[in-house]
A and B are shown apart, each in its own frame.
Chain A
Amino acid sequence: AQSVAQPEDQVNVAEGNPLTVKCTYSVSGNPYLFWYVQYPNRGLQFLLKYITGDNLVKGSYGFEAEFNKSQTSFHLKKPSALVSDSALYFCAVRDIYGNNRLAFGKGNQVVVIP
């Protein structure tokens, strides 16, 4: 079964510094990979996805993610963090071979310090 791991519970970063949120995945074939963000008491908002093509994917709000097949990773990055980026970030994976469910990681709390 497909799964993702987000090894850090919380990521603290100073405003203006680069932000990285780590994700590794496990699937039986080629993956579809996603990042979502969740603000308190809200649903999940889509940030970006990797399906195929360039390993560097650009998404909403200045976020990007790099797909690395050899390391089975899909780390989320932002060059300069904003206080408003403080939220819960989820990585998710879907197996392209007929399984339609997304498997989510446990999430990473990002705290951007002013």
Chain B
Amino acid sequence: DTGVSQDPRHKITKRGQNVTFRCDPISEHNRLYWYRQTLGQGPEFLTYFQNEAQLEKSRLLSDRFSAERPKGSFSTLEIQRTEQGDSAMYLCASSEYGGGTGQTGELFFGEGSRLTVL
């Protein structure tokens, strides 16, 4: 399968624990995005990378959240000291960047990592 893969698909944790999600994008895509989706809402942008550089972060990304993409390939999203309000689906997406030809904009999403904080 050459799509975006996310791991784990489901995570149940107790409040205060740390969790980490991993995303493997489509191999030729140099842009990687993290979104959060809560029940009944559309995905909300968290952050994005172009190669290994984190170029934009949403105000939703509190200090307890950190994302990395150390080699410009896979990415991790860590949540420290989880709170019940962090319960959500965390979606990863990747896209190509057209460079001088412009941006394609089409995001390919993974299946998501569902977090439940008890």
- Asked if residues B106 and A49 are in contact (CB atoms below 8 Å), the reply is yes
Within 8 A of B (CB), among A65-114: 90, 92, 94, 96, 100-107
Q: Does A41 contact B (CB under 8 A)?
A: yes
Query: In the complex, which residues of chain B have a beta carbon less than 8 angstroms from the beta carbon of A92?
Result: 42
A65 to B25, CA, bound (A): 28
Query: Chain B 66-107, CB within 8 Å of chain A: the 1/0 string?
Result: 000000000000000000000000010100000000010111
- Of the candidates A44, A96, A101, A103, the one whose C-beta lies within 8 Å of that of B109 is A44
Query: Chain B 35-71, CB within 8 Å of chain A: the 1/0 string?
Result: 1000011111100100000011010000000000000
Query: In the complex, which residues of chain B have a beta carbon less than 8 angstroms from the beta carbon of A107?
Result: 40-42
A34 to B106, CA, bound (A): 8
Query: In the complex, which residues of chain B have a beta carbon less than 8 angstroms from the beta carbon of A44?
Result: 43, 91, 93, 107, 109
Residues of A within 8 A of B (CB-CB), count: 23
Residues of B within 8 A of A (CB-CB), count: 27
- Asked if residues A42 and B111 are in contact (CB atoms below 8 Å), the reply is yes
- Asked if residues A100 and B55 are in contact (CB atoms below 8 Å), the reply is yes
Q: Taking beta carbons and an 8 Å cutoff, which residues of B are in contact with A?
A: 4, 6, 31, 33, 35, 40-45, 48, 55-56, 58, 91, 93, 103, 105-112, 114
Interchain Cβ contacts under 8 Å between A and B, 22 examples: A32-B105, A34-B105, A34-B106, A34-B107, A43-B6, A43-B112, A49-B105, A49-B106, A51-B105, A90-B42, A94-B105, A96-B103, A100-B55, A100-B103, A101-B45, A101-B48, A101-B58, A102-B43, A104-B44, A105-B42, A106-B40, A107-B40
